[in-house]
């Protein structure tokens, strides 16, 4: 029987790790630390205030640099304390809002004369102006350079990195993981972009500023924004009685009427992450925004039809029982009434589209992909040409179509929100990515995944990301590519995949992956022998986002999760059980021993 441990053990391990690591993290050495009883917005991990000491008389260059770095960990977060350590000219030019750098360990300032350097020997991470993770600090980027001069008889910093530079511990306590919401190129569905931003009273302002910055360079064919370029939200976004007042000013013209709904939707989904905000008003210039229906106050719960998890996507669980399609709950699955449920087509893998009308399946030999209606009387939404298939022991069923017939070793297919089917074929020369849509099968080149040794994959429902398990040497890694489309939804390829190691200190095998949310992936990883761990990670790959969800011991087969609604996240074991690990207390469900390929729509 498979045994498991829920979050408690993982949290305890994390706390122990933080405790042992804290000896290496240099926190501010001076200045008053005051315990606070405040609760509410961003209060978690923020129960203290820290007012750093200003520059001290006759401080040495090394002491000034150290004081500058300590001052950046003021609580609440602000840059004015650190700015006091700069020359008058540097105070005007220093731009800490451009980036955030985190570190595990900070060395002492060293150098000769006016030039000093601070090493970050254990590395760290860098985040851009919006808070989006931009990678870890490699060995070549672990030195912080400073230039100091004498001004008014005291040493001051004349040149410093344009970034907030804080310890990893401070970052974990004071920054929040949230998302900025943009649209896909067809403007039919939202695309979440994970960011890490300071919590507290300025959260709404920070999120609006991030949204105004637009998608990162190089992602224009991955997502788009309906916020006109050139606008600014001013000094702050005030909130009163649960209503935020957003005033956008700048040289940009007023958005076109057809764009206003999507502009409001982007703001609604982004601002709903701020505790206490229930609605907002929007002005562009001095003119209040009014939607065609007359609304001028917009609920942060509006825009449900653009849900990145799929609007009204089915919450049912599907699988194969002795090769036939079944649906329902894991412990109460029954055959569907469509062709795949009543006839044996010798299937080994299946996927159902978001509205649960069409199923795509891979045959047992891995060479063909078929499609058919899920229920009797439904029309096959794939609408692909092909010859009817014949199931064993029955007459030909005309509604079963062949989508691909030249595969070598097809993995389970994946559907996106637009009814496009994604396939990866494990060929003798490596992975081959294809998309089936509109009567055509298209090859999609995804650098870092095309040609690689891929064992499983996901495509986000918004079709903006492809996540694959790739074998590299002795380790499995997650490879995440951003998928590009034109405004008609035609695939244009993928960005070079970013590799994510779920455990940088070991070489785990990844048995299976599933969605935890539209912006997080869960990976079923082997720790040792029959000891397994479910780890989740943000789709951007930020090391600070990796979390341990559950530990299991025994034989495990797969994991099933949904980015939207669903009865839970399940780990399927070799003991004919599905363990729901989504709650504080596990639920172990008995499943039919013939059931395989358990999963949600998409």
Q: Do the Cβ atoms of 227 and 212 come closer than 8 Å?
A: yes
Q: Look-up: residue for tokens 């750093």?
A: 52
Pair of tokens at residue 393: 């022991």
pLDDT for residue 10 is more than 90: no
Say what the pLDDT of residue 373 is.
Answer: 98
Say what the pLDDT of residue 110 is.
Answer: 96
Q: Summarize the confidence of residues 314-336 as an average pLDDT.
A: 96
Shared domain for 576 and 534, answered yes or no, is yes
Shared domain for 169 and 212, answered yes or no, is no
* Least confident span in 138-142, 190-194, 320-324, 488-492: 138-142
> CATH number for the domain including 102?
3.10.450
Say what the pTM is. Answer: 0.88
Tens-digit pLDDT profile for residues 434-444: 999 988 999 99
Instruction: Out of 306, 326, 344, pick the residue that ends a domain.
Output: 306
DSSP structural state of residue 533: E
Give 107-126 as a 3 state SS string: CCCEEECCEEEEECCCCEEE
Q: Do the Cβ atoms of 300 and 280 come closer than 8 Å?
A: yes
Q: Summarize the confidence of residues 220-240 as an average pLDDT.
A: 89
User: Does 446 map to a domain?
Assistant: no
Shared domain for 227 and 288, answered yes or no, is yes
Shared domain for 159 and 84, answered yes or no, is yes
Shared domain for 168 and 233, answered yes or no, is no
User: Does 156 map to a domain?
Assistant: yes
Of the pLDDT bands very low, low, confident and very high (cuts 50, 70, 90), residue 9 is very low
Say what the pLDDT of residue 17 is.
Answer: 36
Higher pLDDT, 543 or 219: 219
Euclidean distance between CA atoms 83 and 156, whole angstroms: 10
Give residues with Cβ within 8 angstroms of 355, minimum separation 6.
Answer: 312, 313, 314, 601
User: Does 265 map to a domain?
Assistant: yes
Task: Output b/e per residue, 157-173; b: 16+ Cβ within 10 A.
Answer: bbbbbebbbbbbbbbeb
Report how far apart, in Å, the C-alpha atoms of 488 and of each of 438, 440, 510 are: 11, 14, 35
User: Does 104 map to a domain?
Assistant: yes
Euclidean distance between CA atoms 320 and 318, whole angstroms: 7
pLDDT for residue 347 is more than 90: yes
* Least confident span in 80-94, 99-113, 250-264, 534-548: 250-264
pLDDT for residue 79 is more than 60: yes
Tens-digit pLDDT profile for residues 494-530: 999 999 988 766 768 999 999 999 999 999 999 888 9
Handedness of CA 448, 449, 453, 458 (dihedral sign): positive
User: Does 251 map to a domain?
Assistant: yes
Euclidean distance between CA atoms 594 and 138, whole angstroms: 48
User: Does 245 map to a domain?
Assistant: yes
Shared domain for 63 and 166, answered yes or no, is yes
Say what the pLDDT of residue 30 is.
Answer: 40
Of the pLDDT bands very low, low, confident and very high (cuts 50, 70, 90), residue 398 is low
Shared domain for 64 and 115, answered yes or no, is yes
How many CB atoms neighbour CB 254 within 10 A?
13
User: Does 490 map to a domain?
Assistant: no
Instruction: Out of 261, 276, 306, pick the residue that ends a domain.
Output: 306
Q: Summarize the confidence of residues 17-29 as an average pLDDT.
A: 34
Q: Summarize the confidence of residues 560-583 as an average pLDDT.
A: 94
Euclidean distance between CA atoms 344 and 479, whole angstroms: 35
pLDDT for residue 570 is more than 60: yes
Report how far apart, in Å, the C-alpha atoms of 471 and of each of 510, 522, 524 are: 9, 17, 15
User: Does 543 map to a domain?
Assistant: yes
* Least confident span in 203-217, 272-286, 384-398, 464-478: 384-398
Of the pLDDT bands very low, low, confident and very high (cuts 50, 70, 90), residue 388 is low
Q: What one-character-per-residue DSSP string does 412-480 give?
A: PPEE-TTS-EEEEEEETTEEEEEEEETTEEEE---TTTTTS-EEEEEE-TTSSEEEEEEEETTEEEEEE
Instruction: Out of 174, 192, 224, pick the residue that ends a domain.
Output: 174
Task: Count up the domains in the chain and report the number.
Answer: 3
pLDDT for residue 77 is more than 70: yes
What does the mean pLDDT of the chain come to?
Answer: 88
What percent helix, strand, coil does the chain show, rounded to 5? 15, 40, 45
Shared domain for 167 and 226, answered yes or no, is no
Q: From 519, 531, 510, 551, select the one nearest 7 (Cα to Cα).
A: 551
Q: Domain range for residue 588?
A: 1-11+502-602
Euclidean distance between CA atoms 289 and 5, whole angstroms: 51
Say what the pLDDT of residue 392 is.
Answer: 41
Q: Summarize the confidence of residues 164-174 as an average pLDDT.
A: 96
């Amino acid at each position: 029987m498979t045994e498991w441990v829920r979050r408690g053990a993982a949290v305890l391990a994390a706390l122990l790790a933080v405790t042992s690591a804290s000896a290496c993290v240099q926190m501010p050495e001076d200045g008053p630390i005051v315990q606070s009883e405040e609760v509410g917005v961003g209060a978690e991990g923020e129960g203290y205030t820290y007012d750093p000491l200003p520059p001290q008389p006759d401080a040495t260059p090394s002491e000034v640099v150290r004081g500058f770095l300590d001052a950046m960990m003021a609580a609440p977060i602000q840059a004015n304390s650190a700015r006091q350590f700069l020359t008058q000219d540097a105070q005007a030019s220093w731009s800490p809002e451009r980036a955030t750098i985190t570190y595990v360990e900070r060395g002492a300032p060293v150098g000769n004369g006016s030039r000093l350097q601070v090493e970050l020997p254990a590395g760290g991470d860098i985040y851009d102006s919006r808070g989006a993770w931009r990678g870890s600090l490699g060995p070549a980027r672990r030195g912080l350079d400073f230039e100091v001069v004498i001004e008014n008889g005291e040493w001051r910093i004349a040149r410093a990195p344009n970034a907030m530079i804080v310890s990893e511990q401070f970052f974990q306590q004071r920054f929040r993981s949230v998302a900025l919401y943009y649209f896909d190129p067809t403007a039919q569905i939202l695309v979440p972009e994970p960011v890490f931003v300071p919590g507290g009273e300025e959260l709404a302002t920070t999120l609006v500023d991030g949204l105004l910055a637009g998608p990162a360079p190089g992602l224009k064919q991955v997502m788009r924004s309906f916020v006109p370029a050139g606008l600014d939200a001013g000094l702050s976004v005030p909130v009163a009685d649960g209503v935020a007042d957003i005033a956008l000013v700048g040289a940009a013209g007023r958005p076109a009427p057809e764009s206003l709904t999507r502009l409001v939707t982007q703001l609604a989904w982004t601002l709903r992450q701020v505790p206490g905000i229930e609605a907002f008003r929007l002005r562009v210039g001095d003119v209040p925004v009014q939607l065609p229906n007359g609304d001028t106050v917009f609920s942060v719960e509006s825009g449900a039809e653009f849900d990145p998890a799929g609007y009204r996507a089915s919450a049912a669980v599907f699988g194969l029982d002795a090769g036939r399609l079944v649906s329902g709950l894991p412990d109460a699955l029954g055959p569907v009434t469509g062709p795949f449920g009543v006839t044996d087509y010798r299937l080994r893998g299946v996927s159902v589209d978001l509205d649960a009308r069409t199923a795509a399946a891979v045959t047992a030999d891995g060479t063909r992909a078929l499609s058919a209606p899920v229920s009797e009387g439904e029309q096959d939404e794939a609408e692909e040409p092909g010859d009817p298939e014949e199931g064993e022991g029955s007459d030909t069923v005309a509604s079963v179509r062949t989508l691909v017939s030249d595969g070598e070793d097809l993995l389970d297919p994946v559907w996106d929100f637009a009814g496009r089917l994604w396939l990866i074929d494990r060929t003798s020369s490596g992975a081959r990515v294809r998309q089936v849509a509109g009567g055509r099968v298209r090859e999609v080149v995804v650098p870092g995944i095309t040609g690689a040794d891929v064992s499983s994959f996901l495509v986000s429902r918004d079709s903006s990301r492809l996540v694959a398990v790739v074998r590299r040497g002795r380790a499995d890694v997650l490879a995440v590519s951003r998928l590009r489309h034109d405004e008609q939804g035609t695939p244009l390829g993928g960005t070079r995949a970013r590799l994510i190691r779920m455990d940088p200190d070991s070489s785990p095998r990844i048995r299976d992956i599933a969605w935890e949310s539209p912006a997080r992936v869960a990976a079923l990883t082997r720790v040792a022998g029959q000891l397994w761990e479910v780890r989740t990670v943000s789709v951007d790959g930020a090391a600070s986002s990796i979390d341990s969800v559950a530990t299991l011991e025994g034989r495990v087969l797969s994991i099933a999760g949904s980015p939207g609604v669903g009865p839970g996240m399940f780990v399927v074991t070799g003991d004919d059980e599905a363990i729901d690990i989504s709650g504080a207390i596990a639920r172990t469900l008995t499943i039919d021993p013939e059931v395989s390929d358990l999963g949600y729509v998409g």
